Amino acid sequence: MSEQNQQQEKKLIFSGIQPTGTFTLGNYIGAIRNWAPLQDEYRCIYSVVDEHAITVRIEPAVLRRKTLEAYAQLLACGIDLEKSLLFIQSHVPTHAQLSWVLNCSAQFGELSRMTQFKDKSRKHQDDINAGLFDYPVLMAADILVYNADLVPIGADQTQHLELARVIARRFNSRYGDTFTVPEGYVPPVGARIMSLQDPTKKMSKSDENPNAVILILDDKDTIIRKFKRAVTDSGSEIVFREGKDGINNLLTIYSAVTGKSIEEAEKEFDGKGYGDFKLAVGEVVADHLAPVRDAYARLVDDKAYLKECYTRCGAEALRYSQRILNKVYRKVGFVASEIR
């Protein structure tokens, strides 16, 4: 089989991440680090979704800076542009164009039931804008405009993916077979990394307490200090058990980073104290993230290189998605245009 045919035989993956801050160890273990190994088996298309980011208030200068930083962080985490595409969502207008068409296949009731919308409208009561409500339709467009087969997501995004599947099926039954109905791919280990200060809450980049969150660009001393301060319990045993949320979280992190099972980790630390264990987790996390931090430092100031990367990938994503958008426009009955 020719290399090009093999390439076309491969299933297609799409995933996106919002540039709303430096990525956390939770984003990394639950999402980003799973993207790199998929690149050999699948054709992968990844995007920094800046259009999603303006559904909550963000300063224009901050968004611009964070978008470029997010792009550099993803490259530093191993997205390989020889194998995959990585682009900025607003550079590829087909997403927003398809999202308008899909709006007319999405129901008000469905969108009202989305828990992220309910959470975010509670959090931003002074700005419950239509974009916040429509967020999942743009996400559906991101995926369907490439006819992606598989979508790597964290557990919190499964409701949005299910809606994308509903919209795809509804469109197909109304207008004839057009979209692939995508499958979700939730990573088996570390789908939910918890806050170091309140281990009943997920680690989140918008947390106001910096000690609760490990950022992938934190230096070694900072990482070790944050783990030393991690909230645990009044016991002394390093075992994964109900009620030991702090220790469970640290064991999950240790296991996700070293590749050892939880049982192996429990054995390794049998008889040791919490202090030693926290230090060991801090060490392995810092060593694991060091190459990411180094690669990021090399990339982030090379604005010309970043521009060349996102321009090339964006142009290719546009070409690819334009074909699918044209088909959609034909199916819904828009008059063919020579302008596009």
Interaction residues for ligand LTN, span 124-143 (CB under 6 A): 139, 142-143
Phi, psi of 222 (to 5 degrees): -65, -45
Q: How many CB atoms lie within 10 A of CB 98?
A: 24
**203 lies in the binding site for ligand LTN (CB under 6 A):** no
How many residues make contact with ligand ATP (CB under 6 A)?
Answer: 21
Q: State the catalytic residues.
A: 120, 202, 205
E strand intervals along the chain: 12-17, 43-48, 84-88, 150-152, 183-185
Task: Tell which residue, 261, 259, 251, 257, has the closest CA to residue 285.
Answer: 257
Phi, psi of 56 (to 5 degrees): -120, 155
Task: Report, in Å, the least distance between residue 200 CB and ligand ATP.
Answer: 12
Task: Report, in Å, the least distance between residue 109 CB and ligand LTN.
Answer: 20
- Residue among 17, 214, 256, 289 that touches ligand ATP (CB under 6 A): 17
Q: Which does 205 bind (CB under 5 to 8 A by kind): ligand LTN, ligand ATP, none?
A: ligand ATP
CA dihedral of 304, 307, 313, 319, whole degrees rounded to 10: -120
**20 lies in the binding site for ligand ATP (CB under 6 A):** yes
Question: Is residue 90 within 8 Å of 138, Cβ to Cβ?
Answer: no
Task: Report, in Å, the least distance between residue 59 CB and ligand ATP.
Answer: 15
Taking the alpha carbons of 113, 46, 71, 194 in that order, is the dihedral positive or negative?
positive
| Strand ordering across the sheet containing 12-17 | 84-88, 43-48, 12-17, 150-152, 183-185
Task: Report, in Å, the least distance between residue 179 CB and ligand ATP.
Answer: 22
- Residue among 157, 232, 248, 249 that touches ligand ATP (CB under 6 A): 157
**159 lies in the binding site for ligand ATP (CB under 6 A):** no
Chain positions contacting ligand LTN, by CB under 6 A:
14-18, 49, 52, 139, 142-143, 151, 153, 157, 160
Chain positions contacting ligand ATP, by CB under 6 A:
17-18, 20, 24, 26-27, 29-31, 153-154, 156-157, 191-193, 202-206
